[in-house]
Structure 1
Amino acid sequence: MILGRSLLSLVQSTRSPRQLASASSLPRISCYGTRTMSATAARPDPFKPAKRVAGQRQDVWSIVNEAAAASPVQPIVNMGQGFFGYNPPKFAIDAAKDALDRVECNQYSPTKGRPRLKQAIADAYSPFFGKKINPETEVSITTGANEGMLSAFMGFIEPGDEVIIFEPFFDQYISNIEMPGGTIRYVPLHPPKDGATRTSPASEWKIDFQELENTINSKTKMIVLNSPHNPVGKVFSSEELQRIGDLCVKHNLIILSDEVYDRLFYVPFTRIGTLSPELYERTLTVGSAGKAFYATGWRVGYLIGPEHLIKYVAGAHTRICYSSVSPLQEAAAVAFEQADKQGFWDESRNEMQQKMKRFCEVFDELGIPYSDPEGGYFVLANMASVKLPADYPFPPHVASRPRDFKLCWFLIHEVGVAAIPPTEFYTDANAHIAEDYLRFAVCKNDDVLETAKERLRGLKKYITQ
């Protein structure tokens, strides 16, 4: 995907209301009459934002957009954001078009989801769980996996409750947990010590289980897993999942298992909720039709779990957005029904693995080690050997961030490739773990991957071995 100067409008939109007001001193016409008013005439700070959104530093997405808009290399090749560079399969697109012609598919769906989609998901997942999933009581459809996770937190987390997440984390976890009043406890995944000099499998990012258990206390209510993992690409082994599960049983914790990349695995993949009936009873498994069918804009997610958990997720979802998009739910139902018949799962997994191999060839050429992904469509490349010029003119809001933000800015300006700095997915205390890495998304057309590779070869003059 290509980023260009048209993104300048996105950058401008990140300015605060106060900055926007000061940008123009022209009088304005009131919609209630002809009297002119200044934007700040009433009082200097008329509306105080909630603490949950106030004082946030500039986010990684707007920094990348800003860099892309200002880069002398145009257009920018976007290997940062994890959206697909191509359409969903034809059977899914056709189903969406057909749904738009049906009256009932353009009206409200039941709050827990359209019956056809719940049934399709139950049918698709029952073989994995070794039991017949009840579509009425064990499946809930949400407006994307992210809203599904928010609904899970809203359904169970109250002020004072603690939730454990692993670093690096999907950044939306943070606000989703904090909004209902939860407190987050962080446990880092530890990368291989020689990650700066050796390409290694993503499995070598390890949990310190003593550290994990030490983080659990009487206030801990939930633990969040992500496998296949974004951005590491790690697929947690059944042994690791069993150890995590044993701790959750011992301390009576709910497990939220974020498995949105569950169809993209390149090593054996285990779902924690399938390890035992006891673990199923405490696990909410999160899935994404958008990730599964190359349709991230459809915003169709789902949760699978026991009735005593799902009913509260569904209750929170009803209050957050009532119901999810009807025609795209119907299209997702058809897609799940057709996927096996069309051989889609094997095809999509093989294609993504080939894209990963194709793109990582450039790192092998340059001698840049990376974490070889076991699942998903992200790759972490270790850029420790890329030497940034000492006098490079980074803007202050980039210069004050960890090294990976500088690497990201540098790549955009010097070679025209956008990546994501993974320290955005860490607490400040643990950001040092990932400050030499950059995350690249390979879910793009092959010609885009080849363009990105050619541009990245421009790093040769900055690499010291």
Structure 2
Amino acid sequence: MTTSAAPSTSKATPKPSPVYAKTELDVWTLMNQVAASVGAVNLGQGYMSFPPKEFIKHAAQEALNENTHNQYAPPRGRPGLLGQLATRFTGRFGRPIDANKEVSVHAGANEALLSVFTAFLEHGKDQEVILMEPAFDQYTPNVIMAGGKPVYVPLRVTSDKDPRENVISSDDWKLDLAEFEAAITEKTRIVVLNTPHNPVGKVFSREELTQIGAIAEKHNLLIVADEVYEHLTYGVEHVSIATLPGMWERTVTVGSAGKLFGVTGWRVGWAVGPEKFISATLSAHTRIVFTSNTPLQEGVASAFRQAPEHDFFEVQRSEYETRRNRLMQVFDDIGLPYVVPNGAYYLLVNAAKLKIPRDFEFPDFIVERGENFKLVYFFIKYFGVSGIPPTEFYSEPHKELANDYVRFAFCKTDEGLEEAAVCLQKIKKYLKETSD
């Protein structure tokens, strides 16, 4: 007589997609946790450590007090904000922008980007998106979520100076046009253009944009222009590629109230472009989040209306340039070179001259992320100042281009920057050891 095997006590359980099953912490959470564990000055994540201007806060408070602002907004956006955006971009682009056809409001610029990708990419067809590295780390997952395939082309330093020893300009980071065009295939659909650039601080020149636009036109590509830092440039002109001849017809421009008004938690962004592009983007947006925050849309609309009487954007630019110059001065004094940013609010510091003590121990969760994470971790633990490892903005084949760098954000209080300056003085003795 045979006996049957005992029934298994284990039960099959549903499994998530491999894309989202990874438990690896995102770089922002990881570095914020390390910084908090030692009370480090946080110059890592690009959020403001100072409050918005009073008129901006008051605009949101007034909106919350209005009973009609507490229910769903139209998916395209509240009429007041759409009107303000149409007025702003009519002036910027030198062409009339239709608030009801050529603008859509989103749950932050990131959702606007996802909506554009979703609208223009088809699942199962391996359609490609060109990303210029270093590329903001949300681009890649957004492209993949939309069914696309990221293709990476790095900006390369072209300076005659050695960036490990000398201060260089963000202008020295160049897109190799031949390399860029060689990456385009019959499956390429989109090129993402970030200017002013995070984290380099590069502001693409009119000549560079014209060359990129000509290649996009030749291959019939959509340009997704991420211009969330368009108001923060220092002594150079920000040019929207959509303003160049023939480029409006193939460009969607994305922006952010979080960056524009210093309210990253409000999560209000927008997309601007030809009606057929915005209509498709709006359709995707409606399926992703349906609509965006009603009272804060009204708050942003009010902030736009009031900004001119406060000279807001001029004052803000001056304040940020002062912060930028202060942080550059800190590293001048220490003796570490950096990339002078012409835009945005990040400073890439080249720490190749820094010698980490041989007996310094790194936890496994840092070691497994590579040399650049070890460098940033050392800054946090030894010097008490947090940054972000820019290798996180690169694909695997190009990570080595960023191994020597640390990204610091200067959208911080004067007190925070001064505290960082004191902490970073400790670097000097480790540079002397390097030169021995």
Q: TM-score, normalised by structure 1?
A: 0.88
Residue 364 (structure 2) aligns with:
396
C-alpha change, 1:359 and 1:140, in structure 2 (3 Å) is: same
Which residue identity is paired with 1:403? E
Match of 1:355, SS state, is helix
Deviation at 1:65, TM superposition (A): 3.5
Q: Matched residues in 1 for 2:14 and 2:214: separation?
A: 48
Deviation at residue 143 of structure 1 after TM alignment: 0.3
Distance 2:113 2:212 in 1: 19
Number of the residue aligned with 1:127:
91
The aligned residue for residue 66 of structure 2 is 102
1:46 and 2:46 equivalent?
no
Q: 1:80-99 alignment to 2 at 5 Å? A: 80-99=44-63
2:385–2:420 CA contact under 8 A, matched in 1? yes
In 2, the alpha carbon distance for the partners of 1:190 and 1:59 equals: 26
Mapped pair 1:167 → 2:136: no
Shift of 1:42: 7.8
Matched, 1:153 2:129: no
**Counterparts of 1:249 and 1:179, CA distance in 2:** 26
The letter of the residue matching 1:384 is A
Return the match for 2:78 from 108, 114, 137.
114
- One-letter identity of the residue aligned with 2:205: S
1:227 aligned onto 2:191:
no
Q: Partner residue of 1:67?
A: 34
Match of 1:187 in 2: 153
Specify the code of the residue in structure 1 equivalent to 2:330.
Answer: V
1:177 corresponds in structure 2 to 143
Alpha-carbon distance change, 176 to 43 in structure 1, aligned in 2, over 3 angstroms: farther
The question of 1:216 aligning with 2:184 is answered: yes
SS of the aligned residue for 1:52 comes to helix
Q: Which residue of 1 aligns with 2:4?
A: none
Shift of 1:62: 3.6
* Aligned CA-pair RMSD: 1.5
Q: CA deviation at 1:56?
A: 5.9
Contact 2:119/2:280 (<8 A) preserved: yes
Paired residues, number: 421
- Structure 2 gaps, min length 5: 1-7
Contact 1:52-1:179 at 8 Å conserved across structures = no
User: Are the aligned partners of 1:228 and 1:376 in contact in 2 as well (CA < 8 Å)?
Assistant: yes
Contact kept? 1:52, 1:175, Cα under 8 Å: no
8 Å Cα contact 2:118/2:147 also seen in 1: no
- What is the match of residue 244 of structure 1? 212
Q: Establish whether residue 275 from structure 1 lines up as the match of residue 244 from structure 2.
A: yes
Is the Cα contact below 8 Å between 2:335 and 2:428 reproduced in 1?
no
Match of 2:406 in 1: 438
Greater mean alpha carbon deviation, residues 96-105 or residues 145-154: 96-105
Q: How does 1:361-376 map to 2 (within 5 A)?
A: 361-376=329-344
Code of the residue aligned with 1:421 in structure 2: it is: P
Contact between 2:192 and 2:224, CA under 8 Å: does it hold in 1?
yes
Q: Which amino acid aligns with 2:13?
A: P
Letter in 1 for 2:28: W
Aligned: 1:336 with 2:300? no
SS of corresponding position for 2:135: coil
For the 8 Å contact 2:114–2:146, the answer to whether it is kept is no
1:400, CA displacement in angstroms?
3.3
Deviation at 1:339, TM superposition (A): 1.3
- Is the CA contact (8 Å cut-off) linking 1:402 and 1:431 kept in structure 2? no
Q: CA deviation at 1:94?
A: 1.0
What residue in structure 1 maps to residue 315 of structure 2? 347
Residue of 273, 278, 283 corresponding to 1:310: 278
Secondary structure of 2:193's partner?
strand
Q: 1:405 aligns with which of 348, 373, 397?
A: 373
Q: How far 1:45 sits from its partner (Å)?
A: 6.6
1:196·1:369 contact (CA, 8 Å) conserved in 2?
yes
Write the distance in 2 (CA, Å) between the matches of 1:66 and 1:326: 32
Tell me the TM-score normalized by structure 2: 0.94
Q: Which moved more, 1:257-266 or 1:54-63?
A: 54-63
Q: What is the CA-CA distance between 1:402 and the residue it aligns to? A: 3.0
Deviation at 1:61, TM superposition (A): 2.5
Tell me the equivalent position of 1:36: none
For the residues of structure 2 that align with 1:345 and 1:154, how far apart are their CA atoms? Answer: 32
d(CA) in 2 for partners of 1:50 and 1:209?
37
Change (3 A) 1:119 1:365: same
Higher mean C-alpha deviation, range 96-105 or range 224-233: 96-105
Structure 1 contact 52–178 (Cα < 8 Å) conserved: no
Q: Deviations over 1:387-434 (max 9, x none)?
A: 011232111232233322111111111111110000011011111101
Distance 1:391 1:254 in 2: 51
Gaps of 5+ in 1: 1-40
One-letter amino acid matched to 1:157: L
Query: In structure 1, what is the equivalent of residue 5 of structure 2?
Result: none
Question: Secondary structure of 2:253's partner?
Answer: strand
Aligned residues of 1:117 and 1:330 also touching (Cα < 8 A): yes
> Residue 415 of structure 1 aligns with which residue?
383
Distance 1:63-1:95 versus aligned 2 partners, 3 A rule = closer
Q: Given the superposition, is the C-alpha separation of residues 175 and 460 from structure 1 closer, same or farther in structure 2, using an over 3 Å criterion? A: same
Deviations 1:311-356 (Å, cap 9, x if unpaired)? Answer: 0100000011111000000010011112122210100011001000
Moved more, 433-442 or 396-405: 396-405
Deviation at 1:55, TM superposition (A): 3.4
Change (3 A) 1:69 1:288: closer
**1:233: how far off?**
0.4
CA distance in 1, matches of 2:121, 2:28: 28
Structure 2 match to 1:203: 171
Q: 1:450 aligns with which of 395, 404, 418?
A: 418
* 3-state secondary structure, aligned to 1:285: strand
Report how far residue 44 of structure 1 moved.
7.1
Equivalent pair of 2:355/2:430 in contact (CA under 8 Å): yes
Q: 1:120 is paired with a residue of what secondary structure?
A: helix
